[in-house]
Amino acid sequence: MADPSNEFQTIQSIGSKALLKQITNFDAYKREEVVTSVGDDAAVVSDDGDSLTLLSSDTYVEGVDFDLTYTPFHHLGYKVVAAAISDIYAMNGEPHGMLINMAVPNRISVQMIKEIYRGIYAAGENHKTEVIGGDLKANHSNLVITVSVYGKAEKKRITYRSGANEGDAICISGDVGGALAGLRILMREKKYWEEHGGDEQIQPELGDYEFVVKSQLVPEARRDLIETLKTHDIIPTSMIDVTKGLVNEISELSEASGLGAYIYQAALPIAIETRHVADEMEEDVDRYALFGGEDLEIMFTLPEKEVEEFVNHFNDFVVIGRMVPQEEGMQMQTAEGAVVSFDELS
């Protein structure tokens, strides 16, 4: 087990995803009832009945995943829960309960914690999910929050990343890139504020940017999509939630399904407000859409025929491409008609 070399290998040098893969190769204890563990949005465990239990947990680190200088505490509480719950929706399941663990530095007051919890409970209410446990520990420097969610999926409805078929349409709910556009605005305002001596009298003017700032601070997990799929008995062939950016998510889904993907740049769902921000920043809005994370939208695949049916019931999604044989790789047709591989994009 021990590495023979004494060299200090940083986690950044191999990436946390690769490290987790190396670790999970260990000859570890396995239980019969565990259907899938690492490798999808949530772990899946067999129940006695017709349902499956889904479990997922995410850690959010102050200074890495969020910045308290521009994040209201109740928004923070709402967002960490929405993001954790989105992993359950991404399995076509419903969240039921959550455990909240916080490591709290002493510059965070009782009132601030209560504000975070106000957001947590608001998200719980909207997503019918009860806070059932967790703890509160002291930390030296920064706030660290872990949200663990459990939920249920019907055995016949559960949807994995790995189920996409050749020819399936790649669909995505809502729009993408908005959360990154919001982050850009908030970072600009923070910089301005710092350069002006941190004067508390200067209030950032965010009114014009409400849409994108909201996309960043309080993104909403797509319960509506999951409910509509259920109502009309449509089961996607595969699903994943968009938290690290479209390119990453399409790649994950294609790899898990043993396929390639072909997408159309012109079809990327980008809000007009997101375009305005990119223009103002003199940046490429398509990069926001392709690489921006945290939108909490759901990417899913459906046979063409079912897309035609589903569009009658749910209007907040678009088709951005289709699944192709693995040997065709990952490609995007640009608005100008050129075809570029995903490798050229990054």
Start-to-end Cα distance in the chain = 35
* Phi/psi at 303 (5° precision): -60, 145
Whether the Cβ atoms of residue 331 and residue 340 lie closer than 8 Å to each other:
yes
Contact between 135 and its own copies by CB under 8 A: the answer reads yes
- Residue 256's nearest CA partner among 162, 127, 343 is 162
Question: In the complex with its own copies, which residue's Cβ is closer, 47 or 284?
Answer: 47
Q: Is 233 labeled as ligand-binding?
A: no
Nearer to its own copies (CB atom), residue 89 or residue 310 = 89
Among 20, 202, 335, 338, binds its own copies (CB under 8 A): 20
Report the residue from 93, 124, 178, 260 that binds its own copies according to the rule CB under 8 A: 124
**Candidates 115-123, 222-230, 255-263, 294-302; binding stretch for its own copies (CB under 8 A):** 115-123
Residues from 209 through 248 that contact its own copies (CB under 8 A) = none
DSSP 27-88: -----TTEEE-BTBSSEEEE-SSSEEEEEEEEEEEBTTTB-TTT--HHHHHHHHHHHHHHHH
φ and ψ of 214, to 5 deg: -65, -40
Candidate list 68, 71, 72, 118; residue touching its own copies; CB under 8 A: 118
Q: Which is nearer to its own copies, 108 or 290 (CB)?
A: 108
Shortest separation between residue 132's beta carbon and its own copies, angstroms: 4
Alpha-carbon span 311 to 7, nearest angstrom: 55
In contact, 42 and 55? CB cutoff 8 Å: yes
241 is in an annotated binding site: yes
| 288 known member of a binding site | no
Q: What tokens were used for 120?
A: 């947590």
Query: Binding residue for its own copies (CB under 8 A) from 69, 109, 334, 346?
Result: 109
Looking at residue 168, the DSSP 8-state letter turns out to be: P
Is residue 161 annotated as involved in ligand binding?
A: yes
Residues within window 43-62 making contact with its own copies, judged by CB under 8 A: 43, 45, 47-49, 51, 53, 55-61
User: At a CB cut-off of 8 Å and minimum separation 6, what does 231 contact?
Assistant: 313
Select the residue interacting with its own copies from 104, 172, 299, 320 (CB under 8 A): 104
Q: Residues 69, 136, 192, 344: which binds its own copies (CB under 8 A)?
A: 136
Q: Is 284 annotated as a binding residue?
A: no
Task: Check if the beta carbon of residue 33 is closer than 8 Å to that of residue 80.
Answer: no
Interactions with its own copies, residue window 64-103 (CB under 8 A): 64-65, 96-97, 99, 101-103
Q: Which amino acids are annotated as binding site for substrate, given as ranges?
A: 65, 294, 342
Q: Which amino acids are annotated as binding site, given as ranges?
A: 41, 56-58, 65, 87, 117, 134-135, 161, 241, 243, 294, 342
